[in-house]
Amino acid sequence: MQQNRTAYSTLIKSEAKKLGFMFCGISKAGFLEEEAPRLEAWLKKGMHGEMQYMENHFDKRLDPRLLVDGAKSVISLALNYYTDEQQTDPLSPKISKYAFGADYHLVIKEKLKQLLQVINQEIGEVGGRAFVDSAPVLDKAWAKKAGLGWIGKNTNLINKKAGSFFFLAELIVDIELEYEIAPNADHCGTCTSCIDACPTEAIVGPYIVDGSRCISYLTIELKNEMPQEFKGKMDNWMFGCDVCQDVCPWNKFSVLHNEPAFTPHSDLLHLNKQDWEDITEEVFQKVFKNSAVKRTKFSGLKRNVSFLRD
C-alpha cells in the first residue's frame, strides 16, 4: 500500500511539473488547529473589512474534509507569475504583476482539470475538487504544510529558492498519498522590510495584515468609496500592490515565468498616465478581456484612478 502511495505521489508531482507548476507538495487532509485561533481573532478585529464572505463557512475553511466527501489528501501547487516587464510610463497608475496577463483563475483551473484527468486515467477513479481562490480554503496554510515554503511577515508564502511571486491552488482528493514530513522553517529572521515599506501601514505586526488597510483590498475588494485617510498613501497603485513582495530580500531569487497566458496585452504596458485618466469602457473591455482586472469592473477602475488623481 505504501508503495502505491509513493508511486502515485511521484506521478502527481511529475504531471504537475509537465503542466507548468513550479512546486507541488502533498499533505494529509485534516483540521488546521494552528490556524483556527488566528483566523477567529483576525475576523473579530474586523481586519477583513467588507469581505463578509470571510465570515462564512468558518469550519470548512479549517477542515477540507467538510468540503470534499472522503477527503484524504491536499495537493498544493504553485504557479510562477514573476515578470521583469514594466509599465513604460513611470507616472501611470500601477497594476500588480499578477494581473498583467490572463486571469489566473481560468489558467490554473484548466491545469488542475488536466491534472485530475491524468490522476483518474493513471490511478483509477479518484474523487476530488480543484480550488483556486474560489472556495473557503486556506491556501497558504496548506502550502506551508506541503513544504512549499513558510508564511512570511507580510503573510505571503515565501519559498527559499523562488521568493513569493506565485499563485497557489489545491486539488483535494479522496486517496491516501505520501505526505511531506515537515513544513519549511521560517527564514524571515529579524528582517522587517515589508512592514517598513507598506504604504498604508497594513502590516500591523509581524505575520498580521489588516486587510481593510491593504491596497489590494482597497483597489479590488472594496466596493464603496475609498476612505479619505488613504489619500496620498496609495503609492500610485490602481489595481493590487506589489510593494511588500518587491522589497522582500527572498524575491531576488524569483525567476521569470514561462506561462504564455501571462504575457501582457500588447497595449497594457504602454498606456500612459493620461490614457488611464481618459480610459473608456471600450478600451477597458479590449485590454482586460480575459484579465483578473475585470474583477474591479470599469467603474471600480475609474474610481481608483480618480482617487489617485484628485
Pairing of strands 94-95, 237-239: parallel
Average pLDDT over residues 52-68: 89
What's the pLDDT score for residue 13?
Answer: 98
**In this predicted structure, what is the pLDDT of residue 76?**
98
More confidently predicted of 90 and 57: 90
Q: Is the pLDDT of residue 2 over 70?
A: no
pLDDT at site 11: 97
Asked whether residue 177 carries a pLDDT value surpassing 70, the answer given is yes
Mean pLDDT of 131-148: 92
Mean model confidence pLDDT for the chain: 95
Looking at residue 299, what is its pLDDT? 96
| Rounded average pLDDT over 185-201 | 97
**Tens of pLDDT along 254-287?**
999 999 999 998 899 999 999 999 999 999 999 9
What is the mean pLDDT of the segment spanning 36-45?
A: 90
Backbone angles phi, psi at 25, to 5 degrees: -140, 160
Cα–Cα distance for residue pair 69/67, rounded to 1 Å: 7
Looking at the chain, the whole-number percentage of residues with pLDDT higher than 90 is: 87
Output the 3-class SS for the chain. Answer: CHHHHHHHHHHHHHHHHHCCCCEEEEEECCCCCCHHHHHHHHHHCCCCCCCHHHHCCHHHHHCHHHCCCCCCEEEEEEEECCCCCCCCCCCCCEECHHHCCCCHHHHHHHHHHHHHHHHHHHHCCCCEEEECCCCCCCHHHHHHHCCCCEECCCCCEEECCCECCEEEEEEEECCCCCCCCCCCCCCCCCCCHHHHHCCCCCEEECCEECHHHCHHHHHHHCCCCCCHHHCCCCCCEEECCCHHHHCCHHHHHCCCCCCHHHCCCCCHHHCCHHHHHCCCHHHHHHHCCCCHHHHHHHHHHHHHHHHHHC
Average pLDDT over residues 110-138: 93
What is the pLDDT confidence band of residue 1, given thresholds at 50, 70 and 90?
A: low
**pLDDT mean over 224-249:** 97
Which of 8, 2, 53 has the alpha carbon at shortest distance from 171? 8
What pLDDT band is residue 169 in, cutting at 50, 70 and 90?
Answer: very high
**Active-site residue list:** 133
Q: How confident is the model at residue 133 (pLDDT cuts 50, 70, 90)?
A: confident
Task: Give the cell for residue 34.
Answer: 494552528
- pLDDT category of residue 225 using cuts at 50, 70 and 90: very high
State mean pLDDT over 119-141. 92
**Is residue 181 predicted with pLDDT exceeding 90?**
no
| Domain ranges across the chain | 2-173, 193-251+264-309
* Confidence (pTM): 0.95
